[in-house]
Structure 1
């Protein structure tokens, strides 16, 4: 399991996408193994690879890591995206977990029969609860914490792009955030990741949703 990092997940965004983002910004190469059948998932279970019977699964440094936040924290620590001390790490983690909460709301849209009410709720929460926090934090600083690129910055640019896919004008009242996004997408690794043909995944479609439901043997709404 040494050498290149291996990702086990679906051929779609979901909870793995933030991990792809962070590895990309760290300029770490990775291979992907896509779950397409329930048998593949059961094999990972039977092999003991999934500690809590869940994916994402990331093989790195001889370990099989699960739980998205734990994986992100490990990569952030390993590649120096997690602050210089315990106080900076606490701030980075607070910002990061808020962003993960917001992105997970958007992830669930693909599994919602009528997404309109949830879209309205996401837009409202984004504009009233989440985006003002980051707009204020970026009044002056180039990055969120410690004057240096961190996990929180990577998640923030991912989140703003996801929001704009659903609400194209959502950043118009948040100029600091829009400027931050503009700076971030000029970082060479991010610029390449946003080009066609990269390992960035598109918005979920019916094929992705159907595959997830079949692999996990889900028959009703989530």
Structure 2
């Protein structure tokens, strides 16, 4: 029996959360090894981290780093990367768009004062003015339940994650986007998604002041 993937990261969302989401939605159980100090991270850098960066995932005898490489491997392994090259190109394109949006939100907890207020406005404007209209139009154009090939893919998982992240900051973000509202409901009813959303799962909570303090202590 193959061993479970092992995820090496801090005990928080960051760049690992999309990896957790993809594994969870694929129905893959995984283990986590958290580092809590700068010294523990340094030891990883000196021994196993190819570019001295996390996240790192041990899977299928490999120690993979770089978030996108990890996501693409998992997506291909568990049939979440489309049926052919054209579908794969669209899935990756849509995923890259949602990652751009999510990265805006990842930085938000570390900002203060006016910079924090400006970032919140930017998140709302880009979600409602750029990304959500694009995905609403994609769903409208083909009239299917999923973004690509009418089957669940990495693009759907990441868009769902992005919607939840935006709504934590902008609760009315999906107002005016009926197809995305239906998409959110549809994805949330997938059994593995329900499980990951339920209390007690390995999904990490919204970053708080303690998370920010820990990240600064470990990385900076």
Contact 2:46 2:52 in 1 (8 A): no
Q: What does residue range 145-184 of structure 1 map to in structure 2 within 5 Å?
A: 145-184=148-187
Of 140, 144, 150, 1:141 maps to: 144
Q: What does residue range 1-222 of structure 1 map to in structure 2 within 5 Å?
A: 3-47=3-47, 49-114=48-113, 115-139=116-140, 140-216=143-219, 218=220
| CA distance in 1 between partners of 2:30 and 2:39 (Å) | 23
Q: State the TM-score, normalized to the length of structure 1.
A: 0.95
Q: Secondary structure at the match of 1:8?
A: strand
Please report how far the alpha carbon of residue 91 of structure 1 lies from its aligned counterpart in structure 2 after TM superposition: 0.3
Structure 2 unaligned spans of 5+: none
Q: Which has the higher helix share?
A: 2
| Number of equivalenced pairs | 215
Contact 2:81 2:87 in 1 (8 A): yes
Please report how far the alpha carbon of residue 206 of structure 1 lies from its aligned counterpart in structure 2 after TM superposition: 1.4
Contact 1:17 1:200 in 2 (8 A): yes
Contact 2:109 2:212 in 1 (8 A): yes
Runs of 4+ in 1 over 3 A off after TM superposition: none
Q: State the TM-score, normalized to the length of structure 2.
A: 0.96
| CA distance in 2 between partners of 1:90 and 1:131 (Å) | 20
CA RMSD of aligned residues (A): 0.8
| CA distance in 2 between partners of 1:144 and 1:16 (Å) | 23
